[in-house]
């Protein structure tokens, strides 16, 4: 970005460290890169120099961009991280994004719908248990429905996690 190039070698090093070194996940790299470039282009069009960006500028940026609160949170996270690298490399003195807040994201609807007992019985009843795959699928779906565990936790289960607790059988989940 032009604002980074104009800020000197320390800023260029911090950008490379932020974008190429720290962001290992390709999706995060793409999203954080887009957010940072968009903000830096916004600053550039207003004639701001990198070391003169203030929390006011970051706040104005979020007031002007027409995106959802979730996207604002992603952009703010990217800017905080970028400016952290710029502070460490002495390209800027303080992180202007550190104190900025975005709109709170509230989910009004979103509760997971409950599956009725009769629906569970029908679902488990239509699985072909004559094959190993069918038995596996029935065990997985039954575990998900009757324990309300997450799919990731069920996928990590091993035989040793199933045990007899003196009269009843239990599953031990190793997760949060």
Give the integer Cα–Cα distance in Å for 47 and 64. 16
Q: How many helices (H) and strands (E) does the chain have?
A: 8, 2
The phi and psi torsions of 18 (rounded to 5 degrees) equal: -65, -55
Angle, vertex CA 104, rays to CA 100 and CA 107, nearest 5:
155
89's tokens: 């490399």
The Cα 75–Cα 64 span in angstroms is 13
pLDDT of residue 110: 66
Given a contact cutoff of 8 angstroms between Cβ atoms, the answer to whether 69 and 102 are in contact is yes
**Which pLDDT belongs to residue 124?**
92
Strand partners, 149: none
Q: Using 50, 70 and 90 to split pLDDT, how confident is the model at 176?
A: low
Sign of CA dihedral 113, 119, 121, 123: negative
List, for residues 72-122, the tens digit of each pLDDT value.
999 999 999 999 999 999 999 999 999 998 888 776 676 767 888 899 999
The CA-atom distances, in angstroms, between 125 and each of 34, 78, 114, 117, 143 are 48, 48, 19, 12, 15
Match 């029908």 to its residue by tokens. 122
Helix 9-16 vs helix 69-88: angle between axes, to the nearest 10 degrees? 130
Q: What is the pTM of this model?
A: 0.61
**d(C-alpha 74, C-alpha 42), whole Å:** 17
């Amino acid at each position: 970005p032009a604002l980074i190039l104009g800020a000197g070698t320390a800023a260029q090093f911090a950008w490379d460290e932020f974008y190429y070194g720290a962001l290992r996940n390709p999706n995060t790299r793409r999203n954080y890169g887009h957010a940072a470039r968009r903000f830096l282009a916004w600053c550039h069009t207003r004639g701001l120099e990198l070391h003169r960006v203030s929390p006011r500028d970051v706040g104005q940026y979020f007031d002007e961009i027409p995106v959802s609160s979730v996207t604002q949170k992603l952009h703010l996270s990217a800017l905080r991280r970028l400016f952290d690298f710029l502070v460490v490399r002495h390209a800027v003195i303080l992180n202007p994004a550190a104190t900025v807040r975005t709109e709170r994201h509230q989910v009004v609807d979103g509760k997971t719908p409950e599956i009725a007992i009769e629906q569970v019985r029908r679902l488990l009843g239509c699985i072909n248990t004559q094959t190993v795959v069918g038995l596996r699928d029935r065990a997985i779906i039954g575990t998900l429905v009757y324990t309300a565990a997450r799919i990731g936790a069920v996928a990590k289960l091993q035989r040793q996690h199933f045990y007899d607790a003196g009269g009843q059988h239990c599953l031990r989940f190793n997760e949060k």
